[in-house]
Amino acid sequence: MSENSTKPIVLNDENFSDIMKGTNLPVLVEFWAPWCHHCQVLLPVIDQVATELTGKVVVGQVNCDLSERLPEQYNVEVIPTLFLLRADEVLGTIINPKDKASLLSWVGELIG
């Protein structure tokens, strides 16, 4: 996995642990589904955030329709839900951020 990826990486039940162990950077994880309107609206924002935070934060997406264990593990009840993780620690959670500025501000507050 490249910590300098400018695109969100696909996270799933099989690769999540390896991705988390393979980086020292915080990981922004979006739990989403293709049928979710708010998730679809957020997709271009997630792409932009991945580009803007390259080298500072790894951005990944978990499709809740394809991964059963991860949404359960993180008690995801509403989508889109985003977590900022560092190693096994949850730094913060945000549900359906309203725009790119608010998402970047939230991440910035958590990582300093």
Residues catalogued as catalytic: 36, 39
Report the C-alpha dihedral over residues 81, 84, 90, 91, rounded to 10 degrees. -120
The first and second tokens of residue 103, run together, are: 């998402």
Residues 93 and 81: beta-carbon distance below 8 Å: yes
Instruction: For residue 49, count other CB atoms closer than 10 A to its CB.
Output: 22
Using alpha carbons, select from 18, 38, 23, 25 the residue that is nearest to residue 78: 38
The first and second tokens of residue 82, run together, are: 């985003």
